[in-house]
Amino acid sequence: MKIKLAEIVPKEIMPGYHGKLIHTQNMSLAFWEVEAGAKVPEHAHMNEQVMQVLEGKFEFTLGGVTKTYEPGDLVIIPPHVSHSGLALTPCKLMDVFSPTREEYK
């Protein structure tokens, strides 16, 4: 199946997070455009997650440890581990979730 990312209409999942979402049988991909200052509140979920910073600077807290991530950096987020984030600048991020992130459908 061929997908054109440019043709996917973004959804604002939380304030300042505009995602182009793709779902397969076993995973979800989210391509985010994030406004500077937008926050992801602390949360945890059953999905394993990999986040990659494509553009900008993103502050991310995982299991109580906060670091700043820049383009090319990836974070592996195990299932059920608390995490949160803050866009220090406008950002582009990519998330991969397994299994499929049902609440994003």
pTM higher than 0.75: yes
Q: Examine residue 69 and state whether it is found in any structural domain, yes or no.
A: yes
Average pLDDT over residues 23-36: 97
Q: Examine residue 89 and state whether it is found in any structural domain, yes or no.
A: yes
> Measured in Å, how far apart are the chain's first and last C-alpha atoms?
18
pLDDT at residue 105 is higher than 90:
no
Q: What is the pLDDT of residues 37-96, one digit of tens each?
A: 999 999 999 999 999 999 999 999 999 999 999 999 999 999 999 999 999 999 999 999
**Total structural domains within the chain:** 1
CA 38 to chain centre: 12
| 82: CATH | 2.60.120.10
Please say whether the dihedral angle defined by the alpha carbons of residues 55, 31, 45 and 51, taken in this order, is positive or negative: negative
Q: Examine residue 58 and state whether it is found in any structural domain, yes or no.
A: yes
Q: Examine residue 3 and state whether it is found in any structural domain, yes or no.
A: no
